[in-house]
Chain A
Amino acid sequence: MQSKSDFTADSNIKVSDTMQLFMVSLLKDVLVHPENLNSGKKQLKAYCENEYLTYRVVEHELDLFLALLADYRSTNSPVLYYFLRLQAQSCFVGEHLFAFLPIEAPEGDYQLNCPEHSSYCPGTEAGSSVYLGGMVGGHLLGL
């Protein structure tokens, strides 16, 4: 059975404003009080039922977001920050809501596109990690 939160089936799931605000509230709480994750997930389950979302899928997206956030916090990598913002969208936290989360942007200039640098180094980052680790055309993937 395909659920509407299965990314292989539908990449643009629409949920209510209420759901979006709940996700922001949940994340804000969990980021400050990680011990509240389990109770937050119980509430999330109820919200998912109201929105006809498959809870297991949304939980997976939430867990992935939190895991990536932990990686980002330990590295302050601009690349991880961009992917974190992408993953937030899978948790129904769009660009405008992401700004409300207590997540600091990486230090320095972390623009995606570098007009100056190109270097052929497979297996190494081309130039700097700030340029998506050397990926060409990342903006075509929504980065």
Chain B
Amino acid sequence: MEDTCWVCNDITMTQPSLAAFHVLWTKPSVVSARPFGMTDSEILTMIISALMWQKLNGTIKLYTDNTGYAFIEKHGLLHLWNGGVDAELLEMNNYPIDPEIFWAAGKLMALEVQYTPCVMLDTDLIIMRPLYELLAQTAITALHPEKLEEDVYLSPALLKQAAGFSFPSCYNWEVLPSNTAFLYIRDESFRNYYLQESKRFMFYNKERPMEFVSQMVFAEQRLLSICAHDCRLSVDHLLADPFSSSNETVIHLWGFKRLLRENANLEAVYCKQLIKTIGKELASNGFFQDYIQSHFSYE
């Protein structure tokens, strides 16, 4: 099936469309009185992430809230996502989840309403290749396995739990967590089980951890692998090792975002290099070319 990108009228796909989604959940910023914002490099990476997905893989939708909607509107990005923008789901959600502890819970709320199969894609991650054939052979594909580092992935005894909560005895605590900056799930039944367990852990769980990440990475990344193991499903990965030089598929800003925020010169060179390299792939994309000309041209 050919698909036409409505942003650029560029017929590029020859495979069935894969549905993906981005999430911009601003509540973690808003509740902590930090103004929501994204740097130029983060916005540029998000734009390329969305457009490369459309070019190579299919449709992509954005889930955001009122603050996020106002942000993307202000930056002229409302038409970036060919699957549209949903600003209601996250705005209306009233799950008893602490957004500062579970800052990525918005992704899981969006996953809950997506039809399967689907891909959950972080806005700082760019997919460089068609994935249909690869994903068609799997039930679950995440970005890469994570090591069970004990200061990040806490033991069950150290994880904060809501009153009355207990971990099921069926959980296998030895399986490796999976980085979910990219997550493909084929079956609704597994998606529902994973989200049920994740929500069960997050709901009313409001005790602050000493570390920033431990509660969230359990709810999102370790539970994915634990639930898959419990369902006797394997988790495949796009990358066996995130830093392998044989990776031809993924660019993920990951912790590099912090360095970009701290150094404007570094950010300028990064943006320039991103446009020079990946921009070639979007040479015929009018939306991209207009954005670059208006935001990054010297002329």
Identify the A interface with B (CB < 8 A).
Answer: 1-3, 6-8, 11, 54, 56-57, 60, 64, 67-68, 71, 79-80, 83, 86-87, 90, 112-115, 117-126, 129, 131-143
Contacts and interface: CB of A to CB of B under 8 A. Distances in A.
30 contacts: A7-B276, A7-B296, A11-B276, A54-B298, A56-B298, A64-B269, A68-B265, A68-B266, A71-B266, A79-B256, A80-B266, A90-B272, A112-B243, A115-B241, A118-B147, A120-B146, A120-B152, A120-B177, A120-B179, A120-B213, A123-B255, A124-B255, A125-B259, A133-B256, A135-B254, A136-B239, A136-B242, A137-B250, A141-B251, A141-B278
Report which residue of A57, A68, A134 has the largest number of chain B beta carbons within 10 angstroms of its beta carbon: A134
A135 B252 contact: yes
A140 B147 CA distance: 24
B263 interface: yes
Interface of B: 126, 128, 144-147, 149, 152, 177, 179, 212-213, 217, 221, 239, 241-245, 247-259, 263, 265-266, 268-270, 272-280, 289, 292-293, 296-299
Contacts of B277: 11, 140-142
Given A64-B268, A137-B247, 18 more contacts: A2-B299, A6-B298, A7-B272, A8-B296, A54-B299, A68-B269, A79-B259, A80-B266, A83-B269, A118-B241, A118-B242, A121-B213, A135-B252, A136-B250, A138-B251, A140-B248, A140-B251, A142-B277
Contacts of A119: 146-147, 149, 152
Contacts of B249: 137
A137 B248 CA distance: 8
A101 B145 CA distance: 41
A130 to B, nearest CB: 11
B258 A123 contact: yes
Contacts of B276: 7, 11, 142
Given A79-B259, A133-B258, A117 B243 contact: yes
A34 B144 CA distance: 46
Contacts of A112: 243, 245
Nearest to A57: B298
A136 B265 contact: no
Contact of B299 (A6, A64, A117, A121): A6
A132 to B, nearest CB: 6
A119 B179 CA distance: 9
A140 B272 CA distance: 14
Contacts of B255: 121-126, 133-135
A6 B126 CA distance: 24
A67 B267 CA distance: 12
A122 B263 contact: no
B279 A136 contact: no
Report which residue of A7, A117, A143 has the largest number of chain B beta carbons within 10 angstroms of its beta carbon: A7
A143 B269 CA distance: 11
Contact of A123 (B212, B239, B272, B298): B212
Contacts of A1: 299
A91 to B, nearest CB: 11
Given A120-B179, A126-B254, A86 B299 contact: no
